Amino acid sequence: MTTVLLLAGTSEARALSHRLAALPGIGLTASLAGVTRSPAAYGGRLRSGGFGGVPGLQRYLSAEGIGAVIDATHPFAATMHRNAAIACSGADVPLLRLERPEWVAPPGADWRDVADLGAAIGLLPAGAVGFIAAGRSAGPVLAARQEARFVLRAIEAPPEPLPANVRLILGRPSEDAAAEMALLRAEGVTHLICKNSGGPAGRAKLDAAAALGVPVLMIRRPPRQPVPTVATVGDAVRWLRAIVANAAGSGASRA
Ligand code: NAP
């Protein structure tokens, strides 16, 4: 039996957990940071909460006898990604990164890559109305541009009160570009600011912006660690099957 730790928090991680839970020879634990109040259902055992940095994760790997780790955290979850790379390398545990491809600008779209939210709002002209799809913690950064207005869309309410120039819309992105266009129009949005998260769920807002000629300020992804990386759930399953087959082969040759 290979004990697998799946670092989760994305739709791909959820889909992968259901595939892995059905495979023989695998004992799966999916791990969440514990920031979402009612997380979706996962396959396998579910644990929640941080490990306590690299040393805590190394202790966990050893205590649980983890034989493989799949890091399927969000492309912007840079700390967990880095900690997993360091801890697995130190403990000699095979690690795979599952990361969805980045969005690419449609032909003719007005996209500009920026380093972070602060850089993005610094580029807005006075009187701009920025639509922010960059996480619920954006509020304090947005307070720095009082001469602009912002519409912040978030799945859960921000932990702190929002500045007066920010209007909150609670909800998930629509997968329907027409619905996203109607929203951008109704809010009088002049600029769209978002993280380059990739994936189908947030794509419609980009198509809507392109159709309306709304410029996009795209926050680029944080740097990746040098670990083997795949882009699909199927490739992650194949990687793990090979690890399990190897483990079974070396067990048989020792017997
Ligand atoms: P982060 O900055 O990389 O991680 C902060 C800390 O949270 C980590 O050091 C770790 O604590 C803990 N943590 C993160 N992911 C964990 C996991 N899967 N299992 C156990 N502990 C975890 O991450 P973040 O950007 O705050 O994101 C938190 C979670 O939300 C991630 O799992 C991510 O997949 C998901 N998410 C993030 C975004 C985003 O835009 N950042 C968007 C959608 C979903 P310790 O150091 O104590 O181990």
What is the tens place of the pLDDT at every residue in 169-225? 999 999 999 999 999 999 999 999 999 999 998 999 999 999 999 999 999 999 999
Which residue has tokens 């990746």?
Answer: 224
Structure tokens at 128: 């701009």
Q: What is the pLDDT of residue 43?
A: 96
pLDDT score of 123 more than 80: yes
Average pLDDT over residues 157-180: 94
- Looking at the CA of residue 36, tell me the nearest atom of ligand 1: 30
Ligand 1 lined by 173 (C-beta under 6 Å)? no
- Looking at the CA of residue 78, tell me the nearest atom of ligand 1: 3
CA angle 174, 177, 181 (to 5 degrees): 100
Q: What is the pTM of this model?
A: 0.94
- Looking at the CA of residue 80, tell me the nearest atom of ligand 1: 3
pLDDT score of 244 more than 60: yes
Residue 126's CB: how many other CB atoms inside 10 A?
8
Structure tokens at 95: 């690690």
Distance from the alpha carbon of residue 211 to the mean position of ligand 1, in angstroms? 33
Ligand 1 lined by 84 (C-beta under 6 Å)? no
Q: How sure is the predictor about 253, in pLDDT bands with cuts at 50, 70 and 90?
A: low
Ligand 1 lined by 34 (C-beta under 6 Å)? no
Ligand 1 lined by 233 (C-beta under 6 Å)? no
Mutate which of 6, 59, 74 for ligand 1 pocket (most atoms within 8 A of beta carbon): 74
Ligand 1 lined by 52 (C-beta under 6 Å)? yes
Structure tokens at 141: 């950064």
What is the tens place of the pLDDT at every residue in 6-49? 999 999 999 999 999 999 999 999 999 998 777 889 999 999 99
Q: What is the pLDDT of residue 196?
A: 97
pLDDT score of 97 more than 90: yes
Distance from the alpha carbon of residue 126 to the mean position of ligand 1, in angstroms? 34
Question: How far is CA 249 from each of CA 67, 154, 243, rounded to the nearest angstrom?
Answer: 14, 48, 10
Distance from the alpha carbon of residue 210 to the mean position of ligand 1, in angstroms? 31
Q: Give the whole-angstrom CA distance, residue 213 versus residue 208.
A: 9
Q: What is the pLDDT of residue 254?
A: 60
Average pLDDT, the chain: 94
Q: Give the whole-angstrom CA distance, residue 56 versus residue 14.
A: 24
Q: Give the whole-angstrom CA distance, residue 221 versus residue 158.
A: 22
What is the tens place of the pLDDT at every residue in 61-96? 999 999 999 999 999 999 999 999 999 999 999 999
Q: What is the pLDDT of residue 228?
A: 97
Ligand 1 lined by 148 (C-beta under 6 Å)? no
Which H or E run includes 82?
helix 78-91
